[in-house]
Amino acid sequence: MGYKVLLAQDVSESGKELLRENGCEVILAPREDPEVMKELIQDCDACFSKTFFFSEDILKEGKKLQVVSKHGVGVDNVVDVATATGLGLYVVRTPLANMDSVAEHTLGAILALAKNMLPLEKAARRADFDAPLSFESHDIGGKTLGIIGLGNIGRTLAKKAHGGFDMEILGYDPFVKKEDLPDYITCVEDVDDIFRRADYVSLHLNASPENDNFVDKRRLELMKPGACLLNFSRGSNVNEADLYEALKNHVIAGAALDVFAQEPVRADNPLLSLDNVVLSPHCAALTVEAMDRMSYQGCQGIVEILKGEQPTWCVNYEEVRAMREKG
C-alpha cells in the first residue's frame, strides 16, 4: 500500500503486524509533544492514539491524512470529531475491544464494596480478626444493579451480573430500543427510578455537555442509604464534591471510581481519604487481552479506510464520505 501510520504511543504487536502485512510503514513518535507530532504527521496517512489529543493545528499539518484511530472506545480524549469531520478525516475506534475487561472490573468493584474488602484486607494485615464483627458484608445475588448506558459495556455487564451472580438488572438508555435488549434487562423510562431502586448504580456514559455532573447531590439523595455508585465511564459524569459529601455523611454506602474529573487525580482530592470508596487509576480497560484487541481493531480500522473499504467502527463515516464525494 505504501502508506505511513503515526503512532502517538506504542501499541501491542498484533496491530503493528497487521499494518505491516498491509504494506504500511509504522512510525512511533519518540515523545508526546505537539511540535513533534506536527512534524511527523506531515507525511502520514493515518494516526493512532491511546490518549494523546490530536488538535486541529496538528491535524492540519497532515496533508495526506485520511483517518484518526482511537485505541479504545471514547474518542473525545484523542480528537474532536466535529473538527476531524470538517477536515474530511474519518475517526475510527474499538468499541468491542474492552467491553469484557471493563465489565469484569466493574463486577470486581461491586464485590469489593459488598464484601468490604478494602477495610477487611487492612484488618487482616494487622492481624485484627475481630474486625469482621464491625463491618456488614453482603451477598450480591438477588440485589438490583442499575446500569445507565446500555452500549456494549453496559450490556456485557448486565449479562455477566445476571447470568453469573443472579442480580436483577435495571437499565436506562434513551438511544437503545427495548426490543433490542434481552428479557433480563428491565428498562425504565425515567433515569431517576434507577437511583431510587438500585442497590448498585453503574455509569457507562460518554463524555458530553449533557452528561456533565449527571450524578449530583439531587440524584445521590435519591439513592438508598445502603446503595453504592460506580463510575467507569468519564470523570465529568459525577460531581465529585457532591459525591464526597454523600459518602462522608453516609447518604450512600459506598462508591467505586475508575475515572476522575482531573487525571492524574490530585493528591489532595478528598475522595482519596475515604474508606468507603474503591479507587483505580483509569485502568479498567487495560488488561493484556483488551490492549491486544484495541491495538488490532484500531489498526483494522486504519487498514479499512486506506483500502477504500467501509470501516467497521467509524463514528463519522457518512458525513466524511459525503464530503469526499462532493470533492
Say whether 234 is catalytic.
Answer: yes
Could you please report the per-residue DSSP string of 217-265? HHHHHHS-TT-EEEE-S-GGGB-HHHHHHHHHTTSSSEEEES--SSSSP
Determine contact, residues 108/85, Cβ cutoff 8 Å: no
Query: Which residue in 280, 261, 281 sits closest to 118, CA to CA?
Result: 280
Angle between helices 99-114 and 117-125 (to 10 degrees): 60
Q: Which residues contact 63 (CB under 8 A, 6 or more apart)?
A: 42
Q: What are phi and psi of 16, to 5 degrees?
A: -65, -40
d(CA 30, CA 50): 15
d(CA 189, CA 184): 16
Say whether 282 is catalytic.
Answer: yes
Catalytic residue, from 71, 105, 155, 234: name it.
Answer: 234
Determine contact, residues 88/323, Cβ cutoff 8 Å: yes
Q: Specify the length of the chain in residues.
A: 327
Could you please report the per-residue DSSP string of 26-46? EEE-SS--HHHHHHHHTT-SE
Say whether 263 is catalytic.
Answer: yes
The cell for 93 is 475506534
Catalytic residue, from 263, 266, 309, 324: name it.
Answer: 263
Cα atoms in the 13 Å half-sphere on the side-chain side of 227:
24
User: C-alpha distances in angstroms, 302 versus 69, 85, 150, 160?
Assistant: 7, 16, 27, 31
Catalytic residue, from 20, 138, 162, 282: name it.
Answer: 282
Determine contact, residues 294/96, Cβ cutoff 8 Å: no
3-state secondary structure 86-113: HCCCEEECCCCCCHHHHHHHHHHHHHHH
List active site positions: 234, 263, 282
